[in-house]
Amino acid sequence: MNNQKTQSAKLAKMAMLVAISIVLVMLIHFPIFPQVAFLEYDPADIPILIGTFAFGPVAGITLTVVTSLLQGFTVSAASGVYGIIMHIIATATLVTTAGLIYRAHKSKKSAIIGLVVGTAAMTIVMFFANMVITPMFTGWPLAAIMEVMPFILAFNVVKAGINSVVTFIVYKRISPFLHR
């Protein structure tokens, strides 16, 4: 019975993190580079990263998929299935990488390493995802995508970087509540 209560509490906390993620996107989203205004920064990954550090990489992937679907059908509906797919790929890469590194040795150092490596992994994966998936959904030729690729790469570094720094700053303050 106690394990069932623990699992229910974890599920409720994860649902809360999903809700916070969606509210953050509703309140905060803006283009970083005017040349590619469709690439908007949002802090949705912060609660997902916090959940990943608290509950592990599998929970992080679960949070990513649920948040991406809910966000994709509500506050970010304009980007459609394409946006959902890209959000899942980007965020799952970030949280899986950061979460696995942090889980191996829960320390500030491993959190920093995980977030930095996660940011790099997300940027690399999104380079290839944009080369393969973006032409299918936008109809853009690969040459046009390669022209904006420097912005796409910079966007992923900036977005994941900001979200990682904020996560690092707030996680230890929020962690006691999540582990209660």
Residue 2 in this model has a pLDDT that exceeds 80: no
Topology (CATH) of 44-174: Arp2/3 complex 21 kDa subunit ARPC3 (1.10.1760)
State the Cα–Cα distance between residues 116 and 134, nearest whole angstrom: 25
Residue 59 in this model has a pLDDT that exceeds 90: yes
Reported as a single tens digit per residue, the pLDDT across 105-159 is 999 999 999 999 999 999 999 999 999 999 999 999 999 999 999 999 999 999 9
pLDDT at 28: 96
- pTM confidence score: 0.95
For the chain, the domains span: 44-174
pLDDT at 46: 98
State the Cα–Cα distance between residues 166 and 104, nearest whole angstrom: 21
Q: How confident is the model at residue 3 (pLDDT cuts 50, 70, 90)?
A: confident
Query: Is residue 49 exposed (0-12), middle (13-18) or buried (19+ Cβ within 10 Å)?
Result: buried
Produce one character per residue of 115-141: b if its CB has 16 or more CB atoms within 10 Å, e if not: bbebbbbbbebbeebbeebbeeeeeee
Residue 1 in this model has a pLDDT that exceeds 80: no
